[in-house]
Amino acid sequence: MKGLLFTYGLTYGGAAVSLFNPFVGLLVYVCFAIVRPQHMWYWSVPEGNYSKIVAIALLIGWAGRGFGDWKLGRAWPTTLALLGFIAWATLSAATLAPNQEAAWEFVDLLAKIVLPFLVGVTTANTLPRIKTLAWVIMLSEAYVAFEFNLTYLGGYNRLWEEGFGAMDNNCNAIALDACLGLAVILAINAEKWWLKLLAAAAAALMAHAVLFSFSRGGMLGAIVCGFVIFLVIPKKPIHYLAAVVVVLLVLRFAGPEVVDRFSTVFADSSNRDISAESRVILWNACIDSMMRNPLGVGTASWGEAVVNYGFKRGKLAHTLWLQVGAELGLPGLALLVFFYGSCVVRLLPWLRSSFQLPDPAFRYLAQAVIAALVGFAVSAQFVSLDLLEHPYYIAMIGVCLLKVGVMPAEEPEPEPETEPG
């Protein structure tokens, strides 16, 4: 019943408010994209167009308010990269893709990410709104992690056995990695003690879920995310102590099965299991395909091209970056890498304490975005998941920060008045 009330309340209440305040609709849409009510509460929430209803309302509200504020400033390159990516995917679907149905479905799903992204970067134009967006993304994934932990402690590993939201354990581990950086940084910097505890609990739930996902890429991404967090935050003795405690806790809760599975990430070819060896072969196939077809084999068409390398039709490459390169060619891969990379690179100077920002919150939110996207980038090498919403929305936080976090120009001092004569 709680799921049904939650879903209907946010759908129709959010849609109504969105007509006057599209930013509220964006928050609901982002929450639904992560929590996925029809999958989370499949026994009580019937099939329905919940996200579509909210999306239509927020787009109407966005249009009614003049499509927001397009003075993006330093955020333009990252935004244009995403627009270029969907434009290239559309062109590739129209001209190269042998599987037209899959290609246009990809474009349609990507548009459902890009349009809310544009709403976000043109309406999240204040620091409180950016903070709210970050907390909604983090808490939505935290609830998913909470449910994973609940079933796991109850004796059934839902994450490992069946996945969630039409995604397997590996895909969900990447989603957890993408939000883990947000949770840890928010726990360190939240203004109120109860918010610190809430974010810390969220981080613990996510990290534990990554462990029992048994996803090697997910575990590696979480480790890299933790390492980046330690690099970007200003460190005091308490932070070194906390890092040691976290490492000890991870080792304590990992268990032999987790350790054994993670150790195969670095195994040589003679000791890899069949799954790991198959991935390496597929990665090499993607690289070969890029060399032979620099413009790609067509949007969402790797499943057709893979038969040329001895695999069954429909076999995924188990790597986001190389599969995008194989399907959309070097231009598509370059645009996607630039989308995420430019966001991180343009936020890097903000890590310096000497870099002037309007509010300290801009700095720690930049830390969170950098840690989250780097963790995602590493774990995404191990699974084909180019339509996962989480990293796009975290990059949206970064774009909003770049847009808003500009020091106001100092007013020139008035000329000293001189007496006449």
Residue 135 domain-assigned (yes or no): yes
Residue 411 domain-assigned (yes or no): no
Residue 145 and residue 45 in contact, taking contact as beta carbons nearer than 8 Å: no
Question: Which tens digit of pLDDT belongs to each residue from 206-238?
Answer: 999 998 888 888 888 888 888 888 887 776 666
DSSP assignment of 182-196 equals HHHHHHHH-SSHHHH
Residue 168 domain-assigned (yes or no): yes
Considering the entire predicted model, what is its pTM? Answer: 0.88
Question: Which tens digit of pLDDT belongs to each residue from 328-342?
Answer: 999 999 999 999 999
Question: Which tens digit of pLDDT belongs to each residue from 268-287?
Answer: 544 444 556 677 889 999 99
Judge if 106 and 180 occupy the same domain. Answer: yes
Judge if 159 and 174 occupy the same domain. Answer: yes
Judge if 12 and 135 occupy the same domain. Answer: no
More confident residue, 353 or 152: 152
Total number of domains in the chain: 2
Judge if 312 and 336 occupy the same domain. Answer: yes
Which structural domain, as residue segments, surrounds residue 3?
1-67
Residue 185 domain-assigned (yes or no): yes
State how far the Cα of 202 lies from the Cα of 175, in Å rounded to an integer. 14
Angstrom CA distances, 93 to 88, 304, 308, 329, 389, stand at 8, 14, 20, 12, 21
> 3-state DSSP call for residue 15?
helix
Residue 409 domain-assigned (yes or no): no
Residue 420 domain-assigned (yes or no): no
**Weakest-pLDDT range from 58-62, 104-108, 167-171:** 167-171
Band (pLDDT 50/70/90 cuts) for residue 262 is very low
Judge if 330 and 294 occupy the same domain. Answer: yes
Judge if 217 and 80 occupy the same domain. Answer: yes
Judge if 258 and 304 occupy the same domain. Answer: yes
Please say which residue of 46, 67, 88 terminates a domain. 67
**Phi and psi for 259 in degrees, rounded to 5?**
-65, -45
Judge if 193 and 314 occupy the same domain. Answer: yes
Judge if 103 and 222 occupy the same domain. Answer: yes
Judge if 44 and 108 occupy the same domain. Answer: no
C-alpha 153: how far from chain center: 27
Judge if 33 and 157 occupy the same domain. Answer: no
Band (pLDDT 50/70/90 cuts) for residue 52 is very high
What are the residue ranges of helices labelled H in 36-125?
37-40, 50-64, 76-95, 100-123
Judge if 284 and 376 occupy the same domain. Answer: yes
